[in-house]
Amino acid sequence: MRVGLLGGTFDPVHNGHLALADAAIEQLALAGVWLVPAGVPWMKRIEPRSAPEHRKAMVELAIAGRPGLHLLTNELDRPGDTYTVDTLDEVHAGPMAAAELFFLVGADALGGMHLWKDISRVFEQATVAAVERDGRRPDLADLDAVAPGASARITWVTMAPVAISATVLRQRAGNSESLEGAAPDPVGDYIAAKGLYRGGIWAAQRGAHT
């Protein structure tokens, strides 16, 4: 069985994430994609983020009624900083131990993968599938320097550009603007009902919205 893992803070999850998962399912012949909300992403630990229960709930709402998409809470359940290699270790030791894993990343994330914990083991445990939206691929010399030959083992998925940013959606929600067309309606309704992205840690981001 071929399965995909798509990590992210999902703060909020939006239609761009779902389009990426759908493209990967189709082009890589995956049985499904598991969305993996990050607990404490080590590269973004000082950035504000919604509570785990909110991000989990938003993913659940976004994938409801979409049989190819699933939720994996390993990173939300694990204390401390979140590292991909630890998640892959857990997946290989769990119910998907026999599955062929594809770890999905945006092409823009590849440029920083040389900094990831045990990146060579990440490539040993899963096929890294990079999603390109604009035809541009980053220079991967730094990645190959720490994980020789890694760039040649990357599988590419293409999709049409999606002009959706979680940052912009947080700004819009903080100003009580509609997220219609950018996020699934149940996600937008949840954000409005819970008052997410208003005030507090989000005030600076909301003030930057024009």
pLDDT tens-digit profile of 107-154? 888 889 999 999 999 999 999 999 987 777 888 999 999 999 999 999
- Average pLDDT of every residue of the chain: 90
How much is the pLDDT for 134?
75
Six-digit token pair at 203?
Answer: 């005030």
pLDDT of 106 over the 50 cut: yes
Confidence of residue 46 (pLDDT cuts 50, 70, 90): low
Average pLDDT over every residue of 1-25: 96
Count of CA atoms in the C-beta half-sphere (13 A) of 86: 18
Provide the residue type at 206 as one letter.
R
Structural domains of the chain sorted by starting position, each given as residue range(s) with its CATH number in brackets: 2-163 (3.40.50.620)
The pTM is what? Answer: 0.91
User: Are 33 and 104 in contact, with CB atoms under 8 Å apart?
Assistant: yes
Distance separating alpha carbons of residues 152 and 4, to the nearest angstrom: 19
Question: Encoding tokens for residue 208?
Answer: 């930057």
